[in-house]
Structure 1
Amino acid sequence: MIRDSISMRFPQAFRQFSIVCRLCRIGFAVGILILGTFGLSHCHAAQPPITALTLSADQTTLVAGSQLGVHVISWPELERTPVRDVGFSQIHDLKFSPDGKQLLIVGGAAGEYGEWKLVSWPELEVIATRTSHSDVIYSATWLSDDQFVTGAADNDLIHWRLSGGEGKILRVVHGHSRRVLCVAAIGEQQLLVSAGIDQVLRVWSSEQGVLAEPPLRNLDNHTGAVCDLAVRPGEHAIPHLASASVDKTVRFWQPTIGRLLRFSRLPVEPSSIAWSLDGERLAIGCSDGKLRIVNPNTVENEQTLEGIEGWIFEVTAAVDGSFAVAGASGAIARVLPAKSRK
């Protein structure tokens, strides 16, 4: 999801930095039903790309974001309802609150402002909103039911607290030298990881209830912009994190101790990653429209599955082991991998 508008997260940024990750969203979609994949792809040749995607807690509704607004789609049937306009030109991330009762929508206008809106679920009624960053917001993550962090094209992170129907800034963190494209929270350790165009994963502490500067550590093994981060589900003595980069690698980390465990090299640029809910496999959405399934323990690419035609910009995992993928021309598909090999 890259956007310079790293537009959709990223068209212009893509062209400028050869970033095809969350940066560029073009192409067209067609119906798909191919060996190894169970799915239907909606064809919307004139539609803008899907640049944000998430599943509701009850696994019945897929919520997607594009330049048109918020799309509410039944899962797994993929039946669409009319698009809801949220009032800003770009949506780059959608995150349900930990209790599943509120939806955070972030985006804005490239080069002008970053904005977020908190809405009730499923009513989509506005609870709170703020225009904050000086450039578009690309990513957000919840720290608790009343706190979250946004990362934006102005290179900054902002730590927010919700109180009395308003969002209050706890701290603005200036740590990155270029656009922040992705943020992820490691809850029990009260840590935050952020990354973006400057290629560095930065690990931040929030033990005192607010993000602290400077970062605890910088992880700089990537040689290209980092376009997505995903914390591995499950019980682990030391938390695991995956990162995807336009250097055509996905890397597996133990960020709390600054350790790179291993990496998987890909034939094309990845743009979005999502863990299966059991944490046993990582799904990687790629620039060729395929979904690659990687074993995190061996870094073997176990499956390469058809997704959509054109860039995949978003991937999210479902409880039944399938994945929703979305991207170019508004295409959305359900992809069901074969059972993982132990």
Structure 2
Amino acid sequence: MSGPIVRNYKGGSIVYFEKDKAEDIFVLQKGRVVLTYSNVNGVELKEDVKLGEFFGVKSALGRYPREETAQVIGAATVLVFKVPEFERFVSDKTHLIIKMLKVFSSQLRQVHRQVREILGQGEAKNPPFELMNVAEVFFKNGNHEHAAYAFSQYLQHYPDGQYIDRAKQLQDLAVRKGTYPLTLPELIYKPEPGAGNGKLQEMLKTMAIQKDPSTSTVDPNSIQSQHDKASTMMSAGKFIEASSIYKEISERTDSVTQEEEQLVENSLFYLGKAHYKAKDNASAINTFSNFIKRYPKGQLLKETVYHLALATEANGERDKALQLYQKVILLPPTDDSISEDAKAKVKAGKS
């Protein structure tokens, strides 16, 4: 019987890109691999793969494109399974199956929580309205594919619905990857009798945002909940509100899990980014500098130095900014988009 193969990667190598065709499942044996992906709000997040942990599982088993980019930091050795090999491998290992189900369940809860934050709702009002609301949130966040799918489901299941003309207009724009029309009146909730929740839940499940039935409540004061709320604020352009939440998270000392500790670290970076977006360059410079001191080997170190350079340049310190851009170019990986942007900044500064 064939088995997994061993594959070695050099530092900066890409194991796979987002939207690549998914065929293989990987296990990290040695080194470091970082997954980069965007949450429902469109905010870019990074996550370290733990030693001995599988990655690329969902997309390979589901036969859909990768949802994240997997990049090697330093150097790494991985085991590579084909799907049939992986299925044989875990078939008699119940503990692995349970562990993966827990991870997937947690991810579904997190995405659902983010969607509810965006919608600003508690429980569902009525399926047609909520489906339209979900579709429009996706559209506003630039997720044209999910938006077009949601609008098509509204047109299919509610051909005589109150929002039919609006759905047709927005679906056409989403399919053509147009921009959400700012002149469009706000979606107004209108009770629509006779609509059951079954269809809506089925559609949301297809879009991977169905709530995990095993969880009935979410602690609004948890680090994860607060981080999701701040991400939503950032996505909505509410940088002052976001910075207040990120600051609170970055100062918390009650994190107990590795995921929560990473969220605390990430929040300090996003606090600086919120200051920069709000054009408070002095606060951004101070926050990014603080991040570098606290997390000299942090996952977001390169992004932090780059944004420190941006804030320094915006603050009128051009020579210092150029020095920082040159440091960015030297930080691994040296062939990513941040390096290219930094090189362009240095070239423009010298011309």
* TM-score, normalization by structure 1: 0.28
* TM-score, normalization by structure 2: 0.28
Of structures 1 and 2, the one scoring higher in RCO (CA 8 A, sep 6+) is 1
Which has the higher Rg, Structure 1 or Structure 2? 2
- Choose between structure 1 and 2: higher strand proportion: 1
- Choose between structure 1 and 2: higher helix proportion: 2
